[in-house]
């Protein structure tokens, strides 16, 4: 996979290629792992060749599963793309001469530095808007061999000579063969050894390329055709030993490379008209909101959590401080400030204030047990989910300070892992209901206990609470897939499950009669879902390898 990306540090476009390098066959074999490591190091060296006709690799990194190449972005077309766009799938002699001359220069430089390409093909030859030809993917065939992908060959069927197909020794003549195949295709529009399998391609090579290029284009008879046949010999000993010899033989009778460069510049320019490739503003427009403004999401989460903590703590502290307005406001502001510094503390402080209010307001023999159970429930949720994500506190506090205990589901889907979202969806409904009843009872334990008993013996309450939990679980599971589309679908799915829970709860509450659910609760669920869908779109993909402009 190749993705076009924006280097935010140097303000330039780059192409990042990811190649799998982990193979289960190596995991339990130390000698094979050592050999693979040596070849990977060799591939790194090959990738970092610097030449005007070689795509520049800025960085090369390897982890346990993949190799990553950060390369220059070539603003243009591959030869394969160009052949698809021209009449007959073939280029003029001058254009072919320019491609041959440029690729031969790149290969000559690589061979002088002891590096083979081993995967020369039209998709690895690029032409930019200036008509400059660049050879890409040096070291990729070596990587493929090291990782055990594609057998020991590492090349592409139709462009590999027999010695590479059969896993034999390869040298500079292997690259000469592949370049000759590309040149044949560029001149005739057909790949002479294309086949569905390596064996079928090998059979075609043994029989020789047919028909001869002179039958397609009589002007190619003589030096060009003879050089191509020699370079395409099944036996490497019959080919030229040096890429420069092959290029000189062909170029002597093919055409002027400079004229070809001018023609290719015009072709690539025409093919790229209307595209934004050269637009200097491309990078900014294509970056997700959180990359352009990396501070924004954190600032919003901190402000939201601080505001919610302020509201919850102010309500709960009032009876504790005997309704001293000044002291209550000071305490709420302090809680908001602490929550802004570390959002997970917001839910902890709100829970502590609520527990303190229940324990101290009109204290009875029910006060300590009830406040103790509430403290344990708050602490359990905070350990399981509240301390793990900054937005978790907001997902719990929002149901507490609004009339809607279902309000935390959309936030839980957006920010939490599935099991944490499950716990938060149910806890948000539970604590939201508890807080609303506590406020109604003036935080006095005795009436609060009776209100809780009356509320939680009703089956529809459990239906909604379970619905909130499973909505958060299902939605978060889709968000975890990483793409924007999956994130939005997860939000919509969670909203649908919540509304379904509300509908079924109304059905249960009304003795089996289907009635409309609470319209305000439905409106709350829909509104929050839409807000989080917008946030998901602005955030962009969670896993960058799943989206991007591929080529």
Instruction: Report the catalytic residues.
Output: 119
Q: For residue 84, what are its two tokens? A: 């698809």
CA 455 to each of CA 122, 424, 533: distance values in angstroms, whole numbers, following the listed order: 71, 20, 33
- Which phi-psi region, left, alpha or beta, contains residue 11 (left: φ > 0; alpha: ψ -120 to 50)? left
Give me the DSSP letters along 410-461.
HHHHHHS-HHHHHHHHHHHHHHHHHHHHHHHTTT-HHHHHHHHHHHHTSHHH
Cis preceding linkage at 211, omega within 30 = yes
Describe the strand order of the beta sheet including 76-78 as a list of residue ranges. Answer: 76-78, 125-128, 133-135
Give me the sign of the Cα torsion angle 155, 161, 165, 167: negative
Q: Which residues contact 43 (CB under 8 A, 6 or more apart)?
A: 67, 139, 140, 142, 143, 146
Q: Which helix (H) or strand (E) holds 496?
A: helix 484-509
Using H for helix, E for strand and C for coil, what is the string for 524-538?
HHHHHHHHHHHHHHH
Residue 343 contacts residue 393 (beta carbons within 8 Å): yes
Q: Among residues 39, 3, 1, which one has the least CA distance to residue 18?
A: 1
d(CA 288, CA 11): 15
CB burial class (10 A; 0-12, 13-18, 19+) of residue 497?
A: buried
Q: What is the DSSP letter of 67?
A: E
d(CA 29, CA 395): 48
Instruction: Say how many residues make up the chain.
Output: 551
d(CA 157, CA 450): 78
Q: What is the DSSP letter of 30?
A: H
CB burial class (10 A; 0-12, 13-18, 19+) of residue 316?
A: buried
**Strand, coil or helix: 71:** strand
CB burial class (10 A; 0-12, 13-18, 19+) of residue 229?
A: middle
């Amino acid at each position: 996979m190749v993705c076009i990306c924006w280097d935010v540090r140097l303000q330039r476009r780059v192409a990042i290629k990811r190649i799998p390098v982990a193979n289960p066959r190596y995991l339990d074999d130390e000698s094979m792992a050592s050999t693979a490591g040596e070849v990977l190091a060799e591939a790194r060296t090959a990738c970092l060749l610097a030449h005007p006709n070689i795509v520049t690799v800025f960085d090369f990194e390897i982890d346990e599963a993949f190799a990553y190449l950060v390369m220059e972005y070539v603003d243009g077309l591959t030869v394969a793309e160009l052949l698809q766009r021209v009449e007959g799938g073939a280029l003029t002699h001058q254009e072919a001469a320019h491609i041959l001359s440029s690729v031969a220069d790149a290969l000559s430089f690589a061979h002088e530095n002891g590096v083979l390409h081993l995967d020369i093909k039209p998709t690895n030859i690029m032409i930019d808007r200036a008509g400059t030809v660049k050879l890409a993917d040096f070291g990729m065939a070596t990587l493929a061999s090291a990782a055990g992908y594609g057998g020991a060959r590492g090349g592409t069927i139709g462009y590999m000579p027999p010695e590479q197909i059969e896993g034999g020794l390869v040298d500079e003549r292997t690259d000469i063969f592949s370049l000759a195949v590309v040149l044949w295709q560029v001149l005739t529009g057909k790949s002479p050894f294309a086949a569905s399998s390596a064996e079928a391609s090998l059979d075609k090579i043994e029989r020789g390329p047919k028909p001869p290029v002179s039958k397609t284009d009589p002007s190619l008879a003589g030096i060009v055709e003879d050089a191509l046949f020699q370079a395409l010999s099944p036996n490497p000993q019959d080919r030229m030993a040096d890429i420069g010899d092959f290029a000189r033989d062909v170029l002597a009778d093919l055409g002027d490379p400079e004229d070809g460069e001018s023609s290719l510049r015009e072709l690539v320019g025409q093919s790229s008209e209307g595209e934004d490739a050269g637009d200097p503003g491309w990078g900014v427009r294509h970056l997700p909101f959180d990359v352009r403004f990396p501070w924004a999401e954190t600032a919003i989460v901190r402000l939201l959590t601080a505001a919610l903590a302020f509201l919850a703590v102010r309500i709960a502290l009032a009876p504790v401080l005997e309704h001293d307005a000044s002291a209550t406001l000071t305490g709420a502001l302090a809680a908001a400030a602490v929550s802004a510094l570390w959002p997970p503390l917001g839910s902890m402080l709100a829970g502590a204030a609520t527990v303190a209010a229940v324990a101290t307001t009109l204290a009875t023999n029910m006060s300590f047990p009830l406040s103790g159970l509430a403290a344990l429930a708050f602490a359990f949720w905070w350990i399981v989910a509240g301390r793990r994500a900054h937005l978790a506190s907001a997902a719990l506090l929002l149901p507490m300070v609004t009339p809607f205990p279902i309000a935390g589901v959309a936030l839980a889907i957006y920010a939490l892992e599935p099991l944490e979202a499950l716990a938060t969806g149910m806890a948000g409904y539970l604590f939201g209901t508890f807080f609303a009843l506590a406020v109604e009872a003036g935080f006095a334990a005795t009436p609060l206990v009776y209100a809780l008993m009356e509320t939680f013996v009703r089956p529809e309450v459990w239906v909604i609470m379970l619905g909130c939990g499973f909505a958060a679980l299902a939605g978060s599971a889709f968000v975890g897939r990483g793409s924007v589309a999956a994130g939005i679908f997860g939000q919509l799915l969670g909203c649908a499950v919540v509304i379904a829970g509300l509908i079924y709860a109304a059905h249960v509450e009304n003795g089996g009669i289907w009635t409309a659910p609470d319209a305000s609760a439905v409106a709350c669920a829909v509104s929050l879902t839409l807000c989080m869908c917008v946030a998901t779109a602005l955030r962009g993909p969670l896993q960058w390898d799943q989206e991007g402009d591929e080529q």
